[in-house]
Structure 1
Protein backbone atom coordinates (compact mmCIF):
# COMPACT_ATOMS: atom_id res chain seq x y z
CA UNK A 1 0.00 0.00 0.00
CA UNK A 2 1.34 3.43 -0.96
CA UNK A 3 2.45 5.51 2.00
CA UNK A 4 3.33 2.48 4.09
CA UNK A 5 6.59 0.76 4.95
CA UNK A 6 7.88 -2.41 3.30
CA UNK A 7 10.32 -4.83 4.96
CA UNK A 8 12.72 -6.69 2.66
CA UNK A 9 15.47 -9.16 3.57
CA UNK A 10 18.55 -8.21 1.55
CA UNK A 11 22.15 -7.00 1.99
CA UNK A 12 23.84 -3.69 2.75
CA UNK A 13 24.45 -3.40 -0.99
CA UNK A 14 20.79 -2.65 -1.71
CA UNK A 15 20.51 -0.35 1.31
CA UNK A 16 23.47 1.75 0.17
CA UNK A 17 22.31 1.83 -3.45
CA UNK A 18 18.77 2.88 -2.50
CA UNK A 19 20.10 5.61 -0.23
CA UNK A 20 22.47 6.78 -2.98
CA UNK A 21 19.80 7.19 -5.65
CA UNK A 22 17.61 8.99 -3.11
CA UNK A 23 20.38 11.54 -2.68
CA UNK A 24 20.34 12.46 -6.39
CA UNK A 25 18.07 15.49 -6.81
CA UNK A 26 18.11 15.29 -10.61
CA UNK A 27 16.62 11.78 -10.71
CA UNK A 28 13.14 12.28 -12.17
CA UNK A 29 11.64 8.94 -11.06
CA UNK A 30 10.64 8.15 -7.44
CA UNK A 31 12.59 5.46 -5.61
CA UNK A 32 11.90 3.94 -2.18
CA UNK A 33 13.28 5.85 0.80
CA UNK A 34 15.30 3.96 3.41
CA UNK A 35 13.60 4.18 6.82
CA UNK A 36 15.80 1.85 8.85
CA UNK A 37 18.17 -1.12 8.60
CA UNK A 38 18.21 -4.10 10.98
CA UNK A 39 21.19 -6.47 10.85
CA UNK A 40 20.29 -10.17 10.71
CA UNK A 41 22.63 -12.38 12.81
CA UNK A 42 24.27 -15.10 10.71
CA UNK A 43 22.90 -17.83 12.99
CA UNK A 44 19.32 -17.06 11.96
CA UNK A 45 19.94 -15.95 8.38
CA UNK A 46 18.50 -19.22 7.01
CA UNK A 47 15.06 -18.16 8.27
CA UNK A 48 15.07 -15.16 5.92
CA UNK A 49 14.96 -15.08 2.14
CA UNK A 50 18.15 -13.08 1.73
CA UNK A 51 19.70 -12.71 -1.69
CA UNK A 52 22.81 -14.75 -2.46
CA UNK A 53 24.78 -11.90 -3.99
CA UNK A 54 27.60 -10.57 -1.85
CA UNK A 55 27.58 -12.92 1.12
CA UNK A 56 30.33 -10.81 2.66
CA UNK A 57 27.95 -7.83 2.66
CA UNK A 58 26.00 -9.15 5.62
CA UNK A 59 22.26 -9.76 5.75
CA UNK A 60 19.83 -7.06 6.82
CA UNK A 61 16.16 -6.25 6.99
CA UNK A 62 15.64 -3.12 4.91
CA UNK A 63 12.70 -0.96 5.97
CA UNK A 64 11.71 1.33 3.12
CA UNK A 65 8.74 3.34 1.95
CA UNK A 66 6.32 1.82 -0.54
CA UNK A 67 5.51 3.38 -3.90
CA UNK A 68 2.19 3.53 -5.78
CA UNK A 69 1.42 1.54 -8.90
CA UNK A 70 1.94 -2.00 -10.10
CA UNK A 71 4.72 -3.67 -12.11
CA UNK A 72 4.88 -2.66 -15.75
CA UNK A 73 5.33 -6.32 -16.65
CA UNK A 74 1.81 -7.13 -15.51
CA UNK A 75 0.16 -3.96 -16.86
CA UNK A 76 1.68 -3.25 -20.28
CA UNK A 77 -1.05 -5.02 -22.26
CA UNK A 78 -3.67 -2.82 -20.59
CA UNK A 79 -2.31 0.39 -22.12
CA UNK A 80 -3.22 1.97 -25.44
CA UNK A 81 -0.60 2.63 -28.09
CA UNK A 82 -0.54 6.30 -27.06
CA UNK A 83 0.03 5.37 -23.41
CA UNK A 84 2.80 2.98 -24.41
CA UNK A 85 4.51 5.75 -26.36
CA UNK A 86 4.21 7.97 -23.29
CA UNK A 87 5.86 5.22 -21.23
CA UNK A 88 8.72 5.01 -23.71
CA UNK A 89 9.28 8.76 -23.40
CA UNK A 90 9.30 8.58 -19.59
CA UNK A 91 11.70 5.63 -19.52
CA UNK A 92 14.00 7.39 -21.97
CA UNK A 93 14.10 10.40 -19.65
CA UNK A 94 14.79 8.09 -16.71
CA UNK A 95 17.67 6.41 -18.52
CA UNK A 96 19.05 9.83 -19.33
CA UNK A 97 18.83 11.05 -15.74
CA UNK A 98 20.68 8.10 -14.19
CA UNK A 99 23.31 8.04 -16.94
CA UNK A 100 23.96 11.73 -16.31
CA UNK A 101 25.04 11.08 -12.70
CA UNK A 102 28.70 12.06 -12.50
CA UNK A 103 31.10 9.15 -12.22
CA UNK A 104 33.75 9.15 -9.45
CA UNK A 105 36.33 7.28 -11.55
CA UNK A 106 36.76 4.98 -14.53
CA UNK A 107 36.27 1.92 -12.36
CA UNK A 108 33.65 -0.74 -13.10
CA UNK A 109 32.20 -1.32 -9.65
CA UNK A 110 29.26 -1.18 -7.28
CA UNK A 111 28.34 1.63 -4.90
CA UNK A 112 31.30 2.73 -2.80
CA UNK A 113 33.83 0.88 -4.96
CA UNK A 114 32.58 -2.58 -3.96
CA UNK A 115 32.23 -5.51 -6.36
CA UNK A 116 29.65 -5.62 -9.15
CA UNK A 117 26.41 -7.59 -8.92
CA UNK A 118 24.30 -9.21 -11.62
CA UNK A 119 22.05 -12.24 -11.24
CA UNK A 120 22.57 -12.94 -14.94
CA UNK A 121 26.34 -13.11 -14.55
CA UNK A 122 26.78 -14.70 -11.12
CA UNK A 123 25.09 -15.41 -7.80
CA UNK A 124 28.11 -13.80 -6.14
CA UNK A 125 29.78 -10.44 -6.67
CA UNK A 126 32.58 -9.94 -9.20
CA UNK A 127 35.25 -7.28 -9.41
CA UNK A 128 35.67 -4.41 -8.80
CA UNK A 129 37.70 -3.61 -11.91
CA UNK A 130 40.00 -0.62 -12.36
CA UNK A 131 38.91 -0.03 -15.96
CA UNK A 132 36.54 -1.17 -18.71
CA UNK A 133 39.31 -3.18 -20.47
CA UNK A 134 39.94 -5.08 -17.21
CA UNK A 135 36.24 -5.83 -16.91
CA UNK A 136 36.06 -6.95 -20.54
CA UNK A 137 39.06 -9.24 -20.05
CA UNK A 138 37.24 -10.91 -17.15
CA UNK A 139 34.10 -11.22 -19.28
CA UNK A 140 36.12 -12.85 -22.09
CA UNK A 141 37.62 -15.42 -19.74
CA UNK A 142 34.18 -16.17 -18.36
CA UNK A 143 32.79 -16.63 -21.87
CA UNK A 144 35.63 -19.02 -22.75
CA UNK A 145 34.97 -21.12 -19.66
CA UNK A 146 31.26 -21.31 -20.45
CA UNK A 147 31.26 -21.60 -24.24
CA UNK A 148 34.66 -23.02 -25.07
CA UNK A 149 37.41 -21.28 -27.04
CA UNK A 150 35.89 -21.90 -30.49
CA UNK A 151 32.43 -20.48 -29.71
CA UNK A 152 33.86 -17.64 -27.60
CA UNK A 153 36.01 -16.57 -30.56
CA UNK A 154 32.83 -15.78 -32.53
CA UNK A 155 31.53 -13.32 -29.92
CA UNK A 156 31.35 -9.60 -30.81
CA UNK A 157 34.54 -7.57 -30.48
CA UNK A 158 35.19 -6.09 -27.05
CA UNK A 159 34.35 -2.40 -26.60
CA UNK A 160 37.33 -1.37 -24.48
CA UNK A 161 36.75 2.33 -25.16
CA UNK A 162 33.24 2.37 -23.67
CA UNK A 163 32.64 4.93 -20.95
CA UNK A 164 31.19 3.91 -17.60
CA UNK A 165 27.76 5.11 -16.50
CA UNK A 166 25.65 4.64 -13.40
CA UNK A 167 23.22 1.82 -14.10
CA UNK A 168 20.29 0.14 -12.34
CA UNK A 169 21.56 -3.30 -13.29
CA UNK A 170 18.23 -5.15 -13.15
CA UNK A 171 15.80 -2.92 -15.03
CA UNK A 172 13.19 -5.55 -15.91
CA UNK A 173 9.51 -4.66 -16.48
CA UNK A 174 8.75 -5.98 -13.00
CA UNK A 175 11.06 -3.44 -11.33
CA UNK A 176 9.26 -0.50 -12.96
CA UNK A 177 5.99 0.63 -11.36
CA UNK A 178 3.20 2.36 -13.29
CA UNK A 179 -0.27 3.71 -12.56
CA UNK A 180 -3.51 3.10 -14.48
CA UNK A 181 -2.83 6.03 -16.81
CA UNK A 182 0.54 4.69 -17.91
CA UNK A 183 2.68 7.02 -15.80
CA UNK A 184 5.88 5.67 -14.26
CA UNK A 185 5.45 5.88 -10.47
CA UNK A 186 8.68 4.31 -9.30
CA UNK A 187 11.71 2.13 -9.89
CA UNK A 188 12.58 -0.52 -7.31
CA UNK A 189 15.20 -3.21 -6.51
CA UNK A 190 18.50 -1.34 -6.76
CA UNK A 191 20.75 -4.11 -5.38
CA UNK A 192 22.58 -4.51 -8.72
CA UNK A 193 23.21 -0.79 -9.25
CA UNK A 194 26.71 0.45 -9.93
CA UNK A 195 29.13 1.94 -12.41
CA UNK A 196 29.16 -0.21 -15.54
CA UNK A 197 29.96 0.17 -19.27
CA UNK A 198 27.37 2.46 -20.83
CA UNK A 199 25.77 -0.38 -22.83
CA UNK A 200 25.16 -2.53 -19.70
CA UNK A 201 21.54 -1.61 -18.86
CA UNK A 202 20.28 -1.69 -22.49
CA UNK A 203 22.00 -5.06 -23.02
CA UNK A 204 20.42 -6.53 -19.88
CA UNK A 205 16.98 -5.22 -20.84
CA UNK A 206 17.32 -6.79 -24.30
CA UNK A 207 18.40 -10.07 -22.71
CA UNK A 208 15.44 -10.04 -20.30
CA UNK A 209 12.98 -9.41 -23.14
CA UNK A 210 14.50 -12.22 -25.23
CA UNK A 211 13.97 -14.67 -22.36
Structure 2
Protein backbone atom coordinates (compact mmCIF):
# COMPACT_ATOMS: atom_id res chain seq x y z
CA UNK A 1 0.00 0.00 0.00
CA UNK A 2 1.69 3.27 -1.07
CA UNK A 3 2.04 6.34 1.12
CA UNK A 4 0.12 9.43 0.02
CA UNK A 5 0.65 13.11 0.68
CA UNK A 6 0.40 13.80 4.40
CA UNK A 7 0.53 10.12 5.35
CA UNK A 8 3.14 7.40 5.83
CA UNK A 9 2.27 3.73 5.42
CA UNK A 10 4.29 0.71 6.51
CA UNK A 11 3.66 -2.99 6.94
CA UNK A 12 2.96 -4.94 10.10
CA UNK A 13 4.79 -7.92 8.55
CA UNK A 14 1.57 -9.94 8.45
CA UNK A 15 -0.16 -8.54 5.39
CA UNK A 16 -1.70 -5.52 7.08
CA UNK A 17 -0.53 -1.91 7.27
CA UNK A 18 -0.14 0.95 9.71
CA UNK A 19 -0.92 4.46 8.46
CA UNK A 20 0.61 7.51 10.10
CA UNK A 21 -1.21 10.77 9.33
CA UNK A 22 -2.00 14.17 10.82
CA UNK A 23 -4.75 14.08 13.44
CA UNK A 24 -8.05 15.72 12.45
CA UNK A 25 -9.42 18.79 14.19
CA UNK A 26 -11.29 18.34 16.41
CA UNK A 27 -9.56 15.26 17.76
CA UNK A 28 -11.55 12.02 17.66
CA UNK A 29 -12.52 10.21 20.83
CA UNK A 30 -9.61 8.18 22.22
CA UNK A 31 -8.95 5.71 25.02
CA UNK A 32 -5.83 4.41 26.78
CA UNK A 33 -3.91 1.67 24.99
CA UNK A 34 -4.27 -1.69 26.69
CA UNK A 35 -0.95 -2.92 28.10
CA UNK A 36 -1.55 -6.34 26.54
CA UNK A 37 -2.42 -4.92 23.12
CA UNK A 38 -1.64 -7.39 20.34
CA UNK A 39 -1.40 -4.64 17.71
CA UNK A 40 0.85 -2.29 19.69
CA UNK A 41 2.65 -4.36 22.34
CA UNK A 42 4.82 -2.48 24.79
CA UNK A 43 8.41 -3.71 24.71
CA UNK A 44 9.96 -1.35 27.25
CA UNK A 45 8.85 1.06 29.95
CA UNK A 46 10.55 3.13 32.64
CA UNK A 47 7.76 4.44 34.80
CA UNK A 48 6.04 7.40 33.18
CA UNK A 49 9.35 8.73 31.82
CA UNK A 50 9.82 6.60 28.71
CA UNK A 51 8.28 3.72 26.79
CA UNK A 52 8.67 1.82 23.52
CA UNK A 53 5.96 0.01 21.57
CA UNK A 54 6.27 -2.26 18.57
CA UNK A 55 4.00 -1.24 15.70
CA UNK A 56 4.44 -3.86 13.02
CA UNK A 57 7.82 -3.40 11.36
CA UNK A 58 8.45 -0.21 13.33
CA UNK A 59 8.94 0.96 16.90
CA UNK A 60 7.25 3.92 18.56
CA UNK A 61 9.40 5.60 21.20
CA UNK A 62 8.29 8.28 23.65
CA UNK A 63 10.09 9.89 26.56
CA UNK A 64 10.05 12.99 28.67
CA UNK A 65 12.53 15.70 27.72
CA UNK A 66 14.86 15.90 30.72
CA UNK A 67 17.74 17.39 28.72
CA UNK A 68 16.20 19.96 26.34
CA UNK A 69 19.54 20.92 24.75
CA UNK A 70 20.68 17.37 23.98
CA UNK A 71 21.01 16.11 20.41
CA UNK A 72 17.88 14.25 19.35
CA UNK A 73 18.16 10.67 18.13
CA UNK A 74 16.56 11.39 14.74
CA UNK A 75 19.34 13.91 14.05
CA UNK A 76 21.99 11.26 14.70
CA UNK A 77 20.16 8.71 12.54
CA UNK A 78 20.09 11.23 9.68
CA UNK A 79 23.83 11.74 10.21
CA UNK A 80 24.36 7.98 9.81
CA UNK A 81 22.14 7.79 6.74
CA UNK A 82 24.20 10.51 5.06
CA UNK A 83 27.26 8.28 5.51
CA UNK A 84 25.66 5.12 4.14
CA UNK A 85 26.35 2.47 3.09
CA UNK A 86 27.83 1.23 6.35
CA UNK A 87 28.79 -2.30 7.36
CA UNK A 88 25.95 -2.53 9.88
CA UNK A 89 22.21 -1.86 9.81
CA UNK A 90 20.50 0.92 11.74
CA UNK A 91 16.92 2.22 11.97
CA UNK A 92 15.33 4.56 9.45
CA UNK A 93 13.41 7.54 10.83
CA UNK A 94 9.70 7.41 9.98
CA UNK A 95 8.51 10.29 12.17
CA UNK A 96 9.67 12.56 14.99
CA UNK A 97 7.98 15.29 16.98
CA UNK A 98 7.86 17.04 20.36
CA UNK A 99 4.66 17.77 22.23
CA UNK A 100 3.93 18.65 25.86
CA UNK A 101 7.57 18.20 26.91
CA UNK A 102 7.79 14.74 25.37
CA UNK A 103 9.85 13.53 22.43
CA UNK A 104 8.27 11.05 20.03
CA UNK A 105 10.20 8.98 17.49
CA UNK A 106 9.03 6.25 15.12
CA UNK A 107 11.77 4.19 13.51
CA UNK A 108 11.92 1.14 11.29
CA UNK A 109 12.64 -2.25 12.81
CA UNK A 110 16.14 -3.64 12.19
CA UNK A 111 15.74 -7.32 11.13
CA UNK A 112 16.94 -9.93 13.60
CA UNK A 113 16.90 -10.43 17.36
CA UNK A 114 18.85 -8.78 20.12
CA UNK A 115 22.21 -10.24 21.03
CA UNK A 116 20.79 -10.84 24.52
CA UNK A 117 18.26 -13.23 22.98
CA UNK A 118 20.71 -14.98 20.63
CA UNK A 119 23.73 -15.25 22.95
CA UNK A 120 22.66 -18.36 24.94
CA UNK A 121 22.35 -20.42 21.74
CA UNK A 122 25.67 -19.32 20.23
CA UNK A 123 28.82 -21.40 20.33
CA UNK A 124 32.09 -19.76 21.41
CA UNK A 125 33.23 -19.09 17.84
CA UNK A 126 30.01 -17.24 17.01
CA UNK A 127 30.16 -15.26 20.26
CA UNK A 128 33.72 -14.19 19.50
CA UNK A 129 32.71 -13.21 15.98
CA UNK A 130 30.11 -10.75 17.26
CA UNK A 131 32.43 -9.43 19.97
CA UNK A 132 35.02 -8.68 17.29
CA UNK A 133 32.44 -7.16 14.93
CA UNK A 134 31.18 -4.74 17.58
CA UNK A 135 34.75 -3.76 18.48
CA UNK A 136 35.45 -3.22 14.77
CA UNK A 137 32.34 -1.03 14.50
CA UNK A 138 33.62 1.04 17.44
CA UNK A 139 36.95 1.46 15.63
CA UNK A 140 35.23 2.41 12.38
CA UNK A 141 33.01 4.99 14.06
CA UNK A 142 36.07 6.42 15.81
CA UNK A 143 37.46 7.39 12.41
CA UNK A 144 34.86 10.19 12.31
CA UNK A 145 36.30 13.19 14.16
CA UNK A 146 34.64 16.06 15.99
CA UNK A 147 35.71 19.43 17.34
CA UNK A 148 33.86 19.38 20.65
CA UNK A 149 32.41 16.88 23.14
CA UNK A 150 28.87 17.07 21.84
CA UNK A 151 26.27 15.52 19.57
CA UNK A 152 26.58 15.48 15.79
CA UNK A 153 24.77 18.83 15.53
CA UNK A 154 26.82 20.60 18.20
CA UNK A 155 24.12 20.22 20.84
CA UNK A 156 24.73 18.53 24.18
CA UNK A 157 26.03 14.96 24.36
CA UNK A 158 23.63 12.96 26.52
CA UNK A 159 26.42 11.23 28.46
CA UNK A 160 25.67 11.72 32.13
CA UNK A 161 28.64 9.54 33.13
CA UNK A 162 30.86 12.48 32.16
CA UNK A 163 28.99 14.99 34.33
CA UNK A 164 28.21 15.61 37.96
CA UNK A 165 24.79 16.47 39.29
CA UNK A 166 21.53 16.87 37.39
CA UNK A 167 21.94 20.38 36.01
CA UNK A 168 21.39 20.67 32.26
CA UNK A 169 24.48 22.89 32.17
CA UNK A 170 26.52 19.86 33.24
CA UNK A 171 26.39 18.56 29.66
CA UNK A 172 27.61 21.78 28.09
CA UNK A 173 30.49 20.92 25.70
CA UNK A 174 32.90 23.24 27.52
CA UNK A 175 32.00 21.71 30.89
CA UNK A 176 32.39 18.18 29.50
CA UNK A 177 35.80 19.12 28.13
CA UNK A 178 36.82 20.40 31.57
CA UNK A 179 35.54 17.18 33.17
CA UNK A 180 37.39 15.00 30.67
CA UNK A 181 40.63 16.84 31.36
CA UNK A 182 40.07 16.23 35.07
CA UNK A 183 39.63 12.52 34.28
CA UNK A 184 43.00 12.70 32.42
CA UNK A 185 41.62 12.05 28.96
CA UNK A 186 43.21 13.35 25.78
CA UNK A 187 40.75 15.91 24.40
CA UNK A 188 42.89 16.82 21.38
CA UNK A 189 41.23 14.07 19.29
CA UNK A 190 37.50 13.54 19.65
CA UNK A 191 35.86 10.56 17.99
CA UNK A 192 32.31 9.52 17.17
CA UNK A 193 30.98 6.74 19.41
CA UNK A 194 27.68 5.05 20.20
CA UNK A 195 28.18 4.93 24.00
CA UNK A 196 25.52 2.30 24.74
CA UNK A 197 26.49 -0.85 22.84
CA UNK A 198 24.98 -3.29 25.29
CA UNK A 199 23.61 -6.61 24.00
CA UNK A 200 20.07 -5.23 23.95
CA UNK A 201 21.09 -2.63 21.37
CA UNK A 202 22.92 -5.03 19.06
CA UNK A 203 20.60 -6.81 16.60
CA UNK A 204 21.89 -10.00 14.98
CA UNK A 205 20.81 -12.78 12.67
CA UNK A 206 23.48 -15.50 12.74
CA UNK A 207 21.84 -17.34 9.83
CA UNK A 208 22.48 -14.29 7.61
CA UNK A 209 25.64 -13.12 9.39
CA UNK A 210 23.96 -9.72 9.84
CA UNK A 211 24.40 -7.12 12.54
CA UNK A 212 22.50 -3.95 13.33
CA UNK A 213 22.85 -1.23 15.95
CA UNK A 214 19.86 0.53 17.51
CA UNK A 215 19.29 3.24 20.15
CA UNK A 216 21.55 6.11 19.03
CA UNK A 217 20.27 8.58 21.64
CA UNK A 218 23.63 8.85 23.46
CA UNK A 219 25.87 8.90 20.39
CA UNK A 220 28.26 11.75 19.65
CA UNK A 221 31.85 12.90 19.92
CA UNK A 222 34.00 12.09 22.96
CA UNK A 223 37.66 11.35 23.73
CA UNK A 224 38.84 8.05 22.26
CA UNK A 225 39.65 6.65 25.73
CA UNK A 226 35.99 6.96 26.66
CA UNK A 227 34.96 4.18 24.25
CA UNK A 228 36.67 1.41 26.21
CA UNK A 229 36.16 3.12 29.58
CA UNK A 230 32.38 3.07 29.07
CA UNK A 231 32.42 -0.70 28.50
CA UNK A 232 34.47 -1.16 31.68
CA UNK A 233 32.16 0.78 33.95
CA UNK A 234 28.59 0.75 32.63
CA UNK A 235 26.43 -2.03 34.08
CA UNK A 236 23.71 -0.77 31.74
CA UNK A 237 25.51 -2.73 29.00
CA UNK A 238 25.19 -6.04 30.89
CA UNK A 239 23.04 -9.00 29.97
CA UNK A 240 19.65 -8.85 31.72
CA UNK A 241 19.94 -12.31 33.34
CA UNK A 242 22.57 -14.57 34.91
CA UNK A 243 24.87 -14.15 37.90
CA UNK A 244 27.03 -11.03 38.25
CA UNK A 245 29.92 -12.52 36.29
CA UNK A 246 27.73 -13.82 33.46
CA UNK A 247 25.83 -10.56 33.12
CA UNK A 248 29.04 -8.59 32.56
CA UNK A 249 30.53 -11.09 30.08
CA UNK A 250 29.61 -9.02 27.03
CA UNK A 251 31.20 -5.73 27.98
CA UNK A 252 34.23 -7.50 29.49
CA UNK A 253 34.85 -9.36 26.23
CA UNK A 254 34.34 -6.27 24.07
CA UNK A 255 36.63 -4.21 26.33
CA UNK A 256 39.32 -6.89 26.00
CA UNK A 257 39.04 -6.85 22.21
CA UNK A 258 39.13 -3.04 22.15
CA UNK A 259 42.40 -3.20 24.10
CA UNK A 260 43.79 -5.63 21.54
CA UNK A 261 43.10 -3.19 18.69
CA UNK A 262 44.61 -0.19 20.45
CA UNK A 263 41.95 1.38 22.68
CA UNK A 264 42.91 2.43 26.21
CA UNK A 265 40.82 3.43 29.22
CA UNK A 266 40.87 5.88 32.11
CA UNK A 267 38.78 3.96 34.62
CA UNK A 268 40.90 5.05 37.60
CA UNK A 269 40.67 8.68 36.57
CA UNK A 270 36.92 8.43 36.16
CA UNK A 271 36.47 6.81 39.58
CA UNK A 272 38.54 9.59 41.14
CA UNK A 273 36.49 12.22 39.27
CA UNK A 274 33.16 10.84 40.42
CA UNK A 275 34.24 10.37 44.02
CA UNK A 276 35.84 13.81 44.31
TM-score (norm. length: structure 2):
0.55
Q: Is the 8 A contact 1:14 1:191 kept in 2?
A: yes
Question: Is 1:128 the equivalent of 2:154?
Answer: no
1:144 alignment counterpart: none
Question: Is 1:114 the equivalent of 2:155?
Answer: yes
CA positional deviation for 1:129: 2.4
Residues 1:14 and 1:82: Cα distance change in structure 2 (over 3 Å) = same
RMSD: 2.8
Residues 1:104 and 1:164: Cα distance change in structure 2 (over 3 Å) = closer
CA positional deviation for 1:104: 4.2
Structure possessing the higher radius of gyration over alpha carbons: 2
1:98 alignment counterpart: 141
Q: 2 CA distance for matches of 1:70 and 1:121?
A: 31
Question: Is 1:71 the equivalent of 2:125?
Answer: no
CA deviation map 1:160-186 (0-9, x unaligned):
355210010111111111124483431
CA positional deviation for 1:33: 0.5
Residues 1:24 and 1:6: Cα distance change in structure 2 (over 3 Å) = same
Residues 1:119 and 1:191: Cα distance change in structure 2 (over 3 Å) = same
| Structure 1 unaligned residues grouped into runs of 5+ | 43-58, 141-156
CA positional deviation for 1:112: 1.0
Q: 2 CA distance for matches of 1:68 and 1:175?
A: 12
1:53 alignment counterpart: none
Higher relative contact order (CA 8 A, sep 6+): 1
Q: 1 CA distance for matches of 2:162 and 2:175?
A: 19
Q: 2 CA distance for matches of 1:24 and 1:9?
A: 26
Residues 1:27 and 1:199: Cα distance change in structure 2 (over 3 Å) = farther
2:57 alignment counterpart: 4
Q: Is the 8 A contact 1:5 1:64 kept in 2?
A: yes
Residues 1:170 and 1:131: Cα distance change in structure 2 (over 3 Å) = closer
Residues 1:130 and 1:25: Cα distance change in structure 2 (over 3 Å) = farther
Residues 1:184 and 1:204: Cα distance change in structure 2 (over 3 Å) = farther
Q: 2 CA distance for matches of 1:99 and 1:63?
A: 27
Q: 2 CA distance for matches of 1:21 and 1:175?
A: 16
TM-score (norm. length: structure 1):
0.70
Q: 1 CA distance for matches of 2:140 and 2:150?
A: 19
- The 3-state SS of whatever aligns with 2:153 is helix
Paired residue total: 174
Q: 2 CA distance for matches of 1:187 and 1:85?
A: 17
